[in-house]
Amino acid sequence: MEIRNIAIIAHVDHGKTTLVDRILHATKVFRDNQETGELIMDSNDLEKERGITIFSKNAAVTYKDVKINVIDTPGHSDFGGEVERVLKMADGVLLLVDAFEGPMPQTRFVLQKALQLDLKPIVVINKVDKPNCRPDEVHDAVFELFFNLDATEEQLDFPTFYGSGKNGWFNDTLTPSEDITPLMDGILKYVPEPKVNEGPLQMQITSLDYSSFLGRIAIGKVSRGVIKENQPIALMQADGSIKKSRVRELYVFEGMGKRKVSEVVAGDLCAVVGLEDFNIGDTIADQENPEALPVISVDEPTMSMLFSINNSPFFGKDGKFVTSRHLRDRLMKETEKNLALRVEDTDSADSFLVYGRGILHLGVLVETMRREGYELTVGQPQVLVKYIDGKKSEPYENLVVDVPAEFSGKVIDLVTQRKGELLVMETKGEMQHLEFEIPSRGLIGLRSNMLTNTAGEAVMAHRFVEYKPWKGNIPGRNNGVLISKNQSPTTAYSIDKLQDRGSFFVDPGEEVYVGQIIAEHIKPGDLVVNATEGKKLTNMRASGSDDSVRIVPKIQMTLEECMEYIQQDECIEVTPKHIRLRKVILDEEERKKVQKSMKTEMA
């Protein structure tokens, strides 16, 4: 049976997962009467809620007697580590581009990796049913992008398909076809069969799966030879050591699931059960003449956060896993499958430094742990500083903002305050297209500010470029916070009296503790306030007149917004039911002592 391996790459929200849905339906993976819903591949709860793909996934369909392995990849740069290694399994890529937005910075990053691996590209221009779409201009922009990425002449001669995933058609011209058959035929025609070398078994492990029943499962593409059940193999690791092992069971992908087989030939993707202690990037080779494939390198992390146990007065109220041993075991387990993540111990037994690719990458980890019943506190995200040729250097990012023309001045002002430099300014229809180079530190907290100042119209995307010399101090949050003075439920009476001092993060009746941040101050500088005082009642006053209090609803912040909001002396308490902001040192007198000692040190 012939095989085609294809990865789908695109920027966030350009319609990858919807396209995979269409392919699954077109090839009759499901029975006609089966309920499937939308975005079938995004099976994780977090993915469903946020509408983004976080983990890459495989599906396999059969079309005209050819098996097509389809790999859906994440679009966010924070999950770039996931995309890079998955491309190793593919022989061709479907580059999906929005007919209005055109190629975005993220598209560039993934496409560059694909071209370096010499994968055959097919360009799919999606959403041509949208008003204001410009498929011809977008096609030219894609060609220019290929040219700028030093594509070979063969790669520049890419086939293009137009269509609408939502309406279920793709064709090689702009006239709508009945279904996606022209695209499926295109995949068979343009994507080459897997290249197979002669020789004994070689297979590189490019991703992991875990099953409570079978343990860790290695997934990869057999690049030469045949792998069989019960076959003795050599596991060749990155440090050069070789372990002897045996294949217990083999599975190939079929539809949305896996099917057990006795052997897999070169060119197909498979899942291997029964190997101990393997890592991503290891090679499964023939035991008699083992040869290793080159190790996969993944981009370095650019950000770190301090994860600690929850030591607030409300410790252990919601969560099941609260000790430092629980926290450590969970973080170590995460590094096994999350390649771009690193965990280091600190001087304190209760805290760990966690390094990741960006705020979203770390935020997804915290949110996942919280749902599993963990309680923890996380500190302010810090960028990783390197010393290059003796100079202090920090990561820089390429930031692209598309915004209505009337807001472009505000956007430029916001970004330049944070040490960003404007590189490109073009008009795209009614939108201004702005490109900046900005230190990664400047991005922390930028998104919420930018959305406030552009009435929610700005679309921003960024990707890591390189390390450059340190840019100096970047101003952080201007306003201080209001801190709770005592521990008990807040009252409407007190909050009403304090409303002119700031905007609250808590509602009346919520339990607060000493040192918890309950509101944003309207001025710089922090203030300790009492929000728990009840109204003193005498016989003269009617006790019912409290109903006339008008309280503004509290500000709801997501976990990522909290991570961008806090300053260095603050942290976030995360439990399965609550996200609270607090000072690292809860006691006011202690905080003052520490501030004094820091001032004298600096003097």
pLDDT digits (tens, 9 = 90+) for 121-147: 898 888 888 877 888 888 898 888 888
Closest CA relative to residue 381, chosen from 174, 566, 175: 566
Going by DSSP bridges, is the β-strand pair 263-265/226-228 parallel, antiparallel, or unpaired?
Answer: antiparallel
Q: Is the pLDDT of residue 160 over 80?
A: yes
What is the pLDDT at residue 80? 58
CATH 2.40.50.140 assigned to 480-539+548-556? no
DSSP assignment letter at 129: T
Look at residue 114 in the predicted model and tell me its pLDDT: 84
Place of tokens 């500083």: 385
Return the minimum-mean-pLDDT range out of 188-192, 194-198, 385-389, 484-488.
194-198
Give the C-alpha separation, 559 to 76, whole Å: 17
The CATH fold of domain 303-383: Alpha-Beta Plaits (3.30.70)
Mean pLDDT of 92-100: 86
Per-residue pLDDT band at 42 (split at 50, 70, 90)? very low
* Res. 96 pLDDT band, cuts 50 70 90: confident
pTM for this predicted structure: 0.74
Phi-psi bin for 255: left (phi > 0), alpha (psi -120 to 50), beta? left
Q: What is the distance between the alpha carbons of residues 226 and 243, in angstroms, rounded to a whole number? A: 19
Instruction: Confirm whether residue 14 is marked as ligand binding.
Output: yes
- Answer yes or no: is pLDDT of 109 > 80: no
Helix (H, G, I), strand (E, B) or coil at 406: helix
In this model, does residue 162 exceed pLDDT 60? yes
Q: Is pLDDT above 50 for 264?
A: yes
Give me the mean pLDDT over the 484-503 stretch. 89
**Mean pLDDT of the region 275-282:** 79
Average confidence (pLDDT) over 424-446: 84
Q: How far apart are CA 248 and CA 221, in angstroms?
A: 17
Pick the CATH number of 202-286 from 1.10.1200.10, 2.40.30.10, 3.60.150.10, 3.40.50.1100: 2.40.30.10
Which is nearest to 444 in space by CA: 561, 302, 570, 357? 561
433 annotated to bind ligand = no
- SS3 for 361? helix
Helix-strand-coil split of the chain, %, nearest 5: 25, 35, 40
Residue 128 marked as a ligand binder: yes
Residue 534 assigned ligand-binding role: no
Kindly tell me if the per-residue pLDDT of 395 is higher than 80.
Answer: yes
In this prediction, residue 513 carries a pLDDT of 92
Residue 417 has pLDDT above 50, yes or no: yes
Q: What is the DSSP letter of 539?
A: S
Residue 52 has pLDDT above 60, yes or no: no
Q: Does the fold of domain 303-383 match that of domain 2-190?
A: no
Token output for 57? 């996934």
C-beta of residue 4 within 8 angstroms of C-beta of residue 89: no
- Tell me how far apart the alpha carbons of residues 461 and 75 are, in angstroms, rounded to a whole number: 11
Measured between alpha carbons, how far apart are the two ends of the chain, in Å? 76
What is d(CA 389, CA 440) in angstroms, rounded to the nearest whole number? 20
DSSP 270-312: EEEE---S--TT-EEEESSS--PPPPP--PPP-EEEEEE---S
Q: In angstroms, rounded to a whole number, what is the distance separating the alpha carbons of residues 31 and 5? A: 24
Is 27 flagged in the annotation as binding?
A: no
Does 15 belong to an annotated binding site? yes
514: number of Cβ within 10 Å = 17
Give the Cα separation of 479 and 205 in Å (integer). 49
Looking up tokens 């409407």 gives: 492
Task: Write the pLDDT tens digit of every residue in 329-365.
Answer: 988 888 776 767 889 888 888 899 998 877 878 888 8
Predicted local distance difference test score (pLDDT) of residue 82:
64
Average pLDDT, the chain: 82
Q: Is the pLDDT of residue 48 over 60?
A: no
Domain boundaries 386-469, corresponding CATH code = 3.30.70.240
Mean pLDDT of 79-104: 78
DSSP states along 205-243? EEEEEEETTTEEEEEEEEEESEEETT-EEEEE-TTS-EE
Percent of the chain with pLDDT over 90: 8
Torsions phi, psi for 602 (to 5 deg): -70, -35
pLDDT digits (tens, 9 = 90+) for 215-224: 788 888 888 8
Average pLDDT over residues 444-471: 81
Span 113-127, average pLDDT? 86
Confidence of residue 41 (pLDDT cuts 50, 70, 90): very low
**The two structure tokens encoding residue 236:** 């060749």
**Sign of the C-alpha dihedral computed for residues 17, 18, 23 and 28 taken in this order:** positive
Q: How confident is the model at residue 457 (pLDDT cuts 50, 70, 90)?
A: confident
The owner of tokens 């944003």 is 520
CATH topology of domain 2-190: Rossmann fold (3.40.50)
pLDDT in tens, 168-177: 888 888 888 8
Reply yes or no on whether the pLDDT at 12 is more than 60: yes
* Domain assignments of the chain as residue spans, ordered by start: 2-190, 202-286, 303-383, 386-469, 480-539+548-556
